[in-house]
Amino acid sequence: MVVLLFLSFAACTALLSAGEKVKQTPSDMLKKTGETATIQCSHSIEGYNQMLWYKNVEVQMQFLGYMSYSNALPEKGVDVEIKGSASVNEQCQLIIPKLNLNSSALYYCAARTSNAEAYFGPGTRLTVLGETPKQVNPPKVTLLKPSPQECSQQKKKKKKTLVCVATGFYPDHVSVVWQVNQVEEHTGVATDSRALRSGDYYSISSRLRVPSSQWFNSHTTFKCVVNFFNGKESVAYEAEMKGEKGWDQEDAMTRDNFLKIWQSAKLSYAVLIAKSCVYAAFLFFLLRNIPLGFLGEK
């Protein structure tokens, strides 16, 4: 009898925050049917001696088996091999032979010990391409600014939402990163939990909520970076835009322009006064030195 253990995906992802203690490689794999996939995992937690392996099935995690010290205990009826060691800083491998299309999934390892919390790795996304694989296609990235309704003057003080959309890619090996002024931003980010498939290709969207003071500032740069694994390496595809000019910036520019015009006018007026003084002095000198007879006096 096949024994399967399922965990809620929400519960598992709650433990992923401690994943820096567990290293899992590779993060992405593209394979053909009939090939073998090997995933490596290790941990740095003293006293932990077990490594558990899971396969993400829809919204649940299927238990594949575990390693205790150097003893492999795969689940019955699950076609995988577990090798290596679960001791601290040792390598444990999950081997999936004879891949088929149903092997495509997210795979996770988790380090634990008896009566202690499990620490999950970051996961490995495996896609099995089939005997006649579809062509790998990179994403087209589009960055959409906040809607006019959200940016109306009445709602100026509220936060604004930028939307990043990546479309037309295959397979679904993507991650989305936001940057504000070249600095990675995590606050206010909401990304689809998984890419959506339409026909042969996938799409994914991500949203960034920012304070209105950031959006209404033409010096602010927003960038959406979509990292896409093409089977050999991860390539970044990105789109960016500037914030809009705010009323405060427009007022500042108006004041600056007024000051520039005023300074220019004062300078022109000073030059005019100086020229008038020179001209008056010249006339005075000229009149003082003209002979009286020249003026008609006897």
- Could you tell me if residue 157 is inside a domain? yes
User: Which of the 8 DSSP states describes residue 189?
Assistant: E
Is 0.85 surpassed by the pTM of this model? no
- Tell whether 134 is covered by a domain: no
Number of domains in the chain: 3
Closest CA to 162 of 145, 139, 181, 187: 145
Whether residue 17 is found in the same domain as residue 123: yes
- Same domain for 151 and 185, yes or no, is yes
Q: Are residues 222 and 266 in the same domain?
A: no
Q: Is 43:106 a contact under the CB 8 Å cutoff?
A: no
Domain boundary among 69, 96, 128: 128
Residues 6+ apart with CB under 8 A from 26: 39, 40, 124
The CATH number covering residue 187 comes to: 2.60.40.10
DSSP for 66-103, written as a single string:
EEETTEEEEPTT---EEEE--STT--EEEEE-S--GGG
237 and 256 co-located in one domain: no
> Which residue among 79, 101, 128 closes a domain?
128
On whether both 40 and 152 belong to a single domain, the answer is: no
Domain range spanning residue 272?
247-295
Residues 206 and 289 both lie in one domain: no
Helix (H) or strand (E) holding 49: none
* CA distance linking residue 257 with residue 283, whole number of Å: 39
Q: Going residue by residue through the chain (298 aa), what tens digit of pLDDT does each one get? A: 333 344 444 344 434 444 579 999 999 999 999 999 999 999 999 999 999 999 997 778 899 999 999 999 999 999 999 999 999 999 999 999 999 999 999 999 999 998 889 999 999 999 998 766 678 899 999 999 998 777 665 555 688 999 999 999 999 999 999 999 999 999 999 999 889 998 889 999 999 999 999 999 999 999 999 999 998 999 999 999 999 987 555 544 555 566 677 677 667 767 667 667 766 666 666 666 666 554 555 4
Q: What single DSSP character describes residue 268?
A: H
CA distance 241 to 223: 7
Q: Peptide bond preceding 148: is omega within 30 degrees of 0, i.e. cis?
A: no
Phi, psi of 233 (to 5 degrees): -155, 165
276 within domain boundaries: yes
